[in-house]
Homo-oligomer: A and B are copies of this chain.
Amino acid sequence: MLSFESDYNNGTHPEILRRLCETNDELLTGYGADKYCASAKEKIKKACGKDDVQVFFTVGGTQTNLIVIDSLLDRYAGVVSANTGHINGHESGAIERTGHKVLALPHTMGKLMPDVLRKYLREFYLDETFEHTVIPGMVYISHPTEYGTLYTKQELTELSEICKQYDIPLYLDGARLGYGLMSTGTDVTLNDIANLCDAFYIGGTKVGALCGEAVVFTHNNTPRYFFTRTKQHGGIMAKGRVLGVQFDTLFTDDLYFRISRHAIDMADKMRDAFRKKGYKFFIETITNQIFIVLENKKLNALAKKVTFSFWERVDDDHTVVRFASSWATTEQSVEELAALL
């Protein structure tokens, strides 16, 4: 069975596994105060190209979002997001559980467009009764988005400017950040993100790690006692080394970027194959996720030999499905897929 179902059904990258084995017998201080965490943080800082970034490690994506958003928002405030944002639909209400409303705005292919945000914020403060509502306290975007799309540098710059104008932080959910940064068509770099966002995270779980995300605050703006905030939400690992060793490996010799690039190469090959065979794309993406409109008959035939994800129903005869590549996708599996199309 060929597997293009998701980017988290493999184990971890062999290099990470090797380093976990090599360091296993070392005695290390707990709670993230070990040398691997320290080294990983330095390497990430360097990759960001900014001296004033501060890095923390957390275990998973929903956890990261809830801790960062809860830390950045004042009590009276909500987080603005595209209505397709992960926090709005697929995190079991984790943000609301911390006490904050997700202020969902219409999306364009999964993106929160600058014009939509600008109009919303302008009109918000024109309403004389705005103090009876939830005040927008930060902006959440994901990159790549839940639809596999990417912001352009221009869009990201505009979002950043709007946030500055309203004095609210811009936070980027990078669960699949590697696949965004290494995309063939993007003009956005990690340094751009560090310059334009107030906080973001570099996803490990979906980009080669067993678990773990690296939270970055970009200008010495870490919320006070961030360790305590993280622990309060159950996000601190006693054996912080697990995260330290993984991220230290991912940011040694550009491993994170190399394996992300590989996933993009595989996705590009898959896109070519779909295109050649005349398949219809639901959305044009340039990351590791490909959305295809399938006839149900074809879908059922393919499903016998390949795994992929259901995305949404189109009509009685057609369905949108998602094929995802990852750092672990082999060229052979892509060729086998192409042969089946």
Residues of A within 8 A of B (CB): 3, 6, 8-12, 14, 17, 20-21, 23-31, 59-67, 70-71, 74-76, 78, 89-94, 96-102, 128-129, 131-135, 205-206, 210-211, 224-225, 227-229, 231-239, 241-242, 310
Asked whether A61 lies within 8 Å of B17 as measured between CB atoms, the reply is no
CB distance from A228 to the nearest CB of B (A): 4
| A286 CA / B90 CA spacing, docked (Å) | 40
CB distance from A27 to the nearest CB of B (A): 5
Known: A91-B231, A231-B62, A232-B92. A11 touches B30 (CB 8 A): no
| A233 CA / B23 CA spacing, docked (Å) | 30
Select which of B24, B75, B235 is within 8 A of A232 by beta carbon: B75
CB distance from A322 to the nearest CB of B (A): 13
Asked whether A9 lies within 8 Å of B24 as measured between CB atoms, the reply is no
A62-B236, A91-B232 are known; give 10 further A-B pairs, CB within 8 A: A17-B24, A62-B231, A76-B229, A92-B131, A96-B100, A96-B101, A132-B231, A205-B238, A210-B239, A211-B239
Q: Count identical subunits in the complex.
A: 4
Select which of B23, B62, B133, B238 is within 8 A of A61 by beta carbon: B238
Asked whether B94 lies within 8 Å of A231 as measured between CB atoms, the reply is yes
Report, nearest first, the 8 A-B pairs whose CB atoms are least far apart. A63-B234, A11-B24, A93-B134, A92-B232, A92-B231, A76-B228, A96-B101, A8-B238
Select which of B26, B31, B71 is within 8 A of A11 by beta carbon: B26
| A26 CA / B59 CA spacing, docked (Å) | 22
| A134 CA / B133 CA spacing, docked (Å) | 22
| A250 CA / B63 CA spacing, docked (Å) | 26
Asked whether B66 lies within 8 Å of A75 as measured between CB atoms, the reply is no
Could you say which residues of chain B place their CB within 8 Å of the CB of A61?
A: 238
Which of A8, A228, A229 has its CB near the most chain B CB atoms (within 10 A)? A228
| A211 CA / B57 CA spacing, docked (Å) | 15
Asked whether A93 lies within 8 Å of B8 as measured between CB atoms, the reply is no
Could you say which residues of chain B place their CB within 8 Å of the CB of A92?
A: 76, 131-134, 228-229, 231-232
| A135 CA / B228 CA spacing, docked (Å) | 9
Could you say which residues of chain B place their CB within 8 Å of the CB of A10?
A: 24-25, 27
Which chain B residue has the least Cβ–Cβ distance from A175? B238
| A225 CA / B93 CA spacing, docked (Å) | 13
Asked whether A234 lies within 8 Å of B232 as measured between CB atoms, the reply is no
Which of A23, A30, A101, A241 has its CB near the most chain B CB atoms (within 10 A)? A101
Could you say which residues of chain B place their CB within 8 Å of the CB of A6?
A: 30
| A133 CA / B234 CA spacing, docked (Å) | 13
Asked whether A60 lies within 8 Å of B234 as measured between CB atoms, the reply is yes
CB distance from A125 to the nearest CB of B (A): 12
